Structure 1
């Protein structure tokens, strides 16, 4: 019987992780996407409960106090968190779960699943970092999507440099230069990991 995966995908803002993961979910329709909670305002095309669960700061803090998040972090001035129960419930049911989270969140998941930990989460964990081909391409993507002003773009580019410095912490790194190639590489990661023993999981791979 194949193991369910807890697939964590992180990337700098503008690297294309949302588009890439949407394509992955088309190829693996039984995979469950974890819907993060956030305190940031919804964008024009976002729907509450589909893209994010939008909370105010008080509600977010209440969920932290209740232990409702697997991980939470401050990113670009807003709070983000991964609800615990839907993830654990899906894994118990044998479903693969996709977490599209920031680098801080991925690190918190690693700490949660330290070698002394046990249970379904640790057995399932796989993490992937999506990288832009270069900083010029990342800048172009951030400008082209038209969501941020010049100052915010510069802040995101600076944060991207800090995030990419920690890319070696991830089991897999995929350069998103061509979307079709990146989708194929991410699909290969999923297929490989569903066949891989736990003892082989922690070998880094650059794709």
Structure 2
């Protein structure tokens, strides 16, 4: 049942935001992102364009927008992508029109991208971007988490650890930095950041008319 008091609360229009989560592999970013999407109906995962072939069960337009190399190059050259990068031989990018329309309608988008993609998004959409970086409690703990998965060889883990050191060096390019030493506590902090950023005066586009109405009452 709805809170009776909530019926009198104003539903102010606001501009959406682009909520970025970045972290080294094994820090818990995927767990945090999935929980955020599951528990917060106002945010959705940004759907990227990619030249990677669909994997079993993936749906075009839901998991990714699947295109060939020629189409991707046309989109990149035509300014249709906010950011794009090549990862393991495949191109990935963020479609501009879909994101801009959603932001105007007050929708929030979650991005799981690295520091390079974060820089590109921030350079082009600065006021709409919120950057959050997750850190492990220690390098030893990070390695233990990676080994605990039981899916990677020693060589792969060594590569991930080297990449992690590089990614951690870019921590100061983010608005918020959260140490994930407890997954529940970390999630609460990330959720608090999201809720606070939604309340920024500049994003609450309905405040002008609302406050004018208050002053007339």
TM-score by length of 1: 0.78
Matches within 5 A, 1:1-207: 1=12, 2-40=14-52, 48-113=60-125, 122-197=126-201
1:48/1:94 CA distance change after superposition, 3 Å = same
1:137/1:52 CA distance change after superposition, 3 Å = farther
* CA-based RMSD: 2.5
Partner of residue 117, structure 1: none
Q: Higher helix proportion, which one?
A: 2
Unaligned 5+ segments in structure 2 are 1-11, 203-217
Residues in 2 aligned to 1:148 and 1:39: alpha-carbon distance in whole angstroms: 25
Residues in 2 aligned to 1:180 and 1:18: alpha-carbon distance in whole angstroms: 13
8 A contact 1:34–1:86 mirrored in 2: no
Residues in 2 aligned to 1:3 and 1:92: alpha-carbon distance in whole angstroms: 6
**Higher mean C-alpha deviation, range 143-152 or range 10-19:** 143-152
**Higher mean C-alpha deviation, range 82-91 or range 130-139:** 130-139
Partner of residue 206, structure 2: none
Residues in 1 aligned to 2:194 and 2:140: alpha-carbon distance in whole angstroms: 29
- Per-residue deviation, 1:47: 5.1
- SS of the residue aligned with 2:92? strand
Residues in 1 aligned to 2:59 and 2:145: alpha-carbon distance in whole angstroms: 23
Residues in 2 aligned to 1:29 and 1:59: alpha-carbon distance in whole angstroms: 32
8 A contact 2:18–2:110 mirrored in 1: yes
1:155/1:52 CA distance change after superposition, 3 Å = farther
Residues in 2 aligned to 1:153 and 1:44: alpha-carbon distance in whole angstroms: 26
TM-score by length of 2: 0.75
Q: Give the count of matched residue pairs.
A: 190
8 A contact 1:71–1:82 mirrored in 2: yes
8 A contact 1:7–1:127 mirrored in 2: yes
Unaligned 5+ segments in structure 1 are 114-121, 199-207
- SS of the residue aligned with 2:178? strand
1:127/1:181 CA distance change after superposition, 3 Å = same
